[in-house]
Amino acid sequence: MLIETTINNRRMALAIDPDEYLVDTLRKAGFLSVKRGCDTGSCGLCTVWVEGKPVLSCSTLAVRMSGKKITTIEALQDEALEFARFMADEGAEQCGFCAPGFTMTVLAMKRELTNPTEEEIKHYLNGNLCRCTGYVSQLRAIKKYMGVEV
């Protein structure tokens, strides 16, 4: 089966299986920042944007992406680097495995929420798991990145 979609502002025709998940399609197309983690939509490693909204690619059928605009972290390098600096400054460095999906979620949150409360930030991040850090330093970094009082 062939679908046409836009990935990182580039029109692409992709051969997929009818039951293929988006994570597999993206990785086959060379977007290796999209990671396979839990395969249940629970960890956030596979987060990409579809039409500007965060989506778990491990639980999204690729066939549903026909005609849609998909964004991976490869298209957001400047924003991702800016956020990474906030993470490093707060001692919230990560091994890198969960970082792309986590960063995609944070960048989407920044676009969607203005001056969020700590509870709104935590709610938005629900489902993003990290095994390298405690979440306290990540939360401090996110608040500073979002311009929220710490």
For 76-146, give the CATH class: mainly alpha
End-to-end CA distance of the chain, in Å? 50
Q: Which residues of 8-150 form beta strands (DSSP E)? A: 10-15, 47-50, 53-56, 69-71
Read off the tokens for 75: 């298209």
pLDDT value at residue 93: 75
Give the residue among 41, 120, 114, 34 at the shortest CA–CA distance from 76: 34
Q: What confidence score (pLDDT) does residue 133 get?
A: 67
What CATH number should be reported for the domain whose range is 2-74? 3.10.20.30
How many CB atoms sit inside 10 A of residue 63's CB?
16
Query: Tell me, what's the pLDDT at 150?
Result: 65
Phi, psi of 16 (to 5 degrees): -135, 160
Q: What is the mean pLDDT of each run of 10 residues along the chain (150 residues)?
A: 97 97 97 90 92 96 98 97 94 82 95 94 86 81 89
- Per-domain boundaries in the chain: 2-74, 76-146
